[in-house]
């Protein structure tokens, strides 16, 4: 049986495909390449270029391969863009997600691992954040993910669709072959390293007066390989009959923006100038996970997520692939 990975040409998806294949799983990738890279997927992996909401394409894919589970990464994931263009987010992330689940149910696929996010908590009432913390997102991106969580819960009740919704905190880092390449890039780690390479004049630090140790916002950075491995554990959990669940994936350690920049200066030996900017509306001061439940339910424990290792891995990848995966290709979508 094979695993369908939607969004497998994206950052976390492509690393998860790499890790799944290393554990001898058959994988099929579906991606529309709006934000991903064909080059991130090895040529011998069956690849479908299309949208998760394309019912005809999904019907074809699901007859051409024996799929028993789906890892659903495919989504648009820029917070600012979601505020400016919410329609795009609800259509792509929610409407197409619902169509994907209909296709899976029709084909008898009953196992889904879903990429959720700490953005579903909004400004949390409690930090470290447990899964029981009330969820009230502060942007359409977070809402689009929370809607899918709710839809999955009701599909379990009605149709027996078993799922694990993994609420990632901040993914970062790289493997020897695959790393983070977004255009535009909104994440701190790749932008700090771009400044180290001189591709950016400085790193923007949004907000310097938060109630934190140095006034800058604190986030919980998880190595992308640790995240990928949590998906493998979640699939094993579902395959052996485990129940649906919502699990945080973070380290429980938070680092401020200035601490990340300082650590990157040590790793890269580059000056990395920082420029203070106004805080972004809706940016919480501190987002740190309580991941005890993921450890209890899946036996997941991050092993590569200390900040210096994360930065070193992404730095090595950037030096080896100075242009990332190269320019984003414009390829025609597949006909069903
Ligand atoms: N990167 C993070 O720190 C982080 C944190 C929390 C949650 N997440 C979630 O994890 C997932 C992966 O994140 P990422 O950083 O790898 O993002 P990414 O943009 O690199 O990957 C997403 C992939 O999905 C594809 N895609 C988008 N909409 C599609 C559609 N309708 N049909 C087919 N393909 C589609 C894109 O082309 C891209 O390759 C996303 O769902 C994101 O919301 C990411």
Q: Cα(230)–Cα(120) distance, rounded to whole angstroms? A: 19
Q: Please tell me the predicted confidence (pLDDT) of residue 219.
A: 97
Q: What residues pair up with 2 in beta bridges, in sequence order?
A: 26, 67
Could you tell me if 270 and 196 are in contact, meaning their C-beta atoms sit under 8 angstroms apart? Answer: yes
Cα three-residue angle 118-119-122, rounded to 5 degrees: 110
> Could you tell me the mean pLDDT of each successive run of 10 residues in the chain, 336 residues long?
98 98 98 96 97 98 98 96 96 98 98 98 95 96 98 98 98 97 90 94 94 96 98 98 98 96 97 94 91 98 97 96 76 60
Q: Cα(90)–Cα(101) distance, rounded to whole angstroms? A: 15
Q: 142 CB less than 6 Å from ligand 1? A: no
Q: Please tell me the predicted confidence (pLDDT) of residue 323.
A: 87
Q: Cα(279)–Cα(141) distance, rounded to whole angstroms? A: 19
Q: Please tell me the predicted confidence (pLDDT) of residue 334.
A: 66
Q: Please tell me the predicted confidence (pLDDT) of residue 185.
A: 85
Q: 82 CB less than 6 Å from ligand 1? A: no
What is the residue extent of each domain of the chain? 2-320
Strands 255-256 and 218-219: antiparallel
Please state, as a whole number, how many other Cβ atoms lie within 10 Å of the Cβ of residue 137.
21
Which top CATH class is 2-320? alpha beta
Q: What is the DSSP letter of 212?
A: S
Q: Please tell me the predicted confidence (pLDDT) of residue 282.
A: 78
Cα of 77 from ligand 1 centre, angstroms: 6
Cα of 326 from ligand 1 centre, angstroms: 18
Burial class (CB in 10 A: 0-12, 13-18, 19+), 26: middle
Q: Please tell me the predicted confidence (pLDDT) of residue 169.
A: 97
Q: What is the pTM of this model?
A: 0.96
Q: Tokens in use for 155?
A: 């599909």
Cα of 11 from ligand 1 centre, angstroms: 7
Q: What is the DSSP letter of 121?
A: G
Q: Cα(76)–Cα(163) distance, rounded to whole angstroms? A: 21
Rg of the chain's alpha carbons, rounded to an integer? 19
Cα-flanking dihedrals φ and ψ of residue 146, to 5°? -65, -40
Q: Please tell me the predicted confidence (pLDDT) of residue 331.
A: 53
């Amino acid at each position: 049986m094979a695993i369908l990975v939607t969004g497998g040409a994206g950052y976390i998806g492509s690393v998860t495909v790499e890790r799944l294949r290393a554990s001898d799983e058959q994988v099929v990738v579906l991606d529309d390449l709006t934000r991903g890279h064909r080059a991130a997927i090895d040529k011998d992996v069956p690849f479908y270029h299309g949208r998760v909401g394309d019912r005809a394409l999904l019907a074809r894919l699901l007859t051409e391969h024996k799929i028993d589970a789906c890892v659903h990464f495919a989504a648009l994931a820029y917070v600012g863009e979601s505020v400016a263009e919410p329609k795009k987010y609800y259509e792509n992330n929610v409407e197409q997600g619902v169509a994907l689940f209909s296709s899976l149910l029709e084909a008898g696929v009953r196992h889904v691992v879903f990429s959720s996010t700490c953005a579903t908590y909004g400004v949390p009432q409690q930090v470290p954040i447990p899964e029981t913390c009330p969820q009230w997102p502060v942007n359409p991106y977070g809402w689009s993910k929370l809607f899918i969580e709710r839809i999955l819960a009701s599909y379990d009740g009605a149709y027996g669709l078993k799922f694990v919704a993994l609420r990632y905190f901040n993914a970062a880092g790289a493997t020897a072959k695959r790393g983070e390449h977004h255009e535009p890039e909104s994440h701190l780690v790749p932008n700090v390293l771009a400044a180290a390479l001189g591709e950016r004049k400085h790193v923007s630090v949004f907000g310097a007066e938060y109630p934190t140790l140095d006034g800058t916002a604190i986030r919980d950075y998880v190595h992308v390989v640790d995240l990928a491995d949590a998906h493998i554990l979640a699939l094993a959990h579902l395959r052996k009959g485990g129940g649906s669940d919502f699990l945080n994936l973070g380290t429980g350690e938070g680092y401020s923006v200035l601490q990340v920049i300082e650590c990157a200066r040590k790793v890269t030996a580059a000056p990395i100038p920082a420029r203070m900017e106004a805080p972004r509306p809706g940016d919480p001061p501190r987002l740190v996970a309580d991941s005890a439940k993921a450890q209890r339910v899946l036996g997941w424990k991050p092993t590569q997520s200390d900040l210096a290792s994360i930065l070193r891995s992404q730095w090595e990848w950037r030096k080896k692939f100075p242009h990332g995966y190269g320019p984003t290709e414009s390829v025609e979508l597949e006909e069903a």
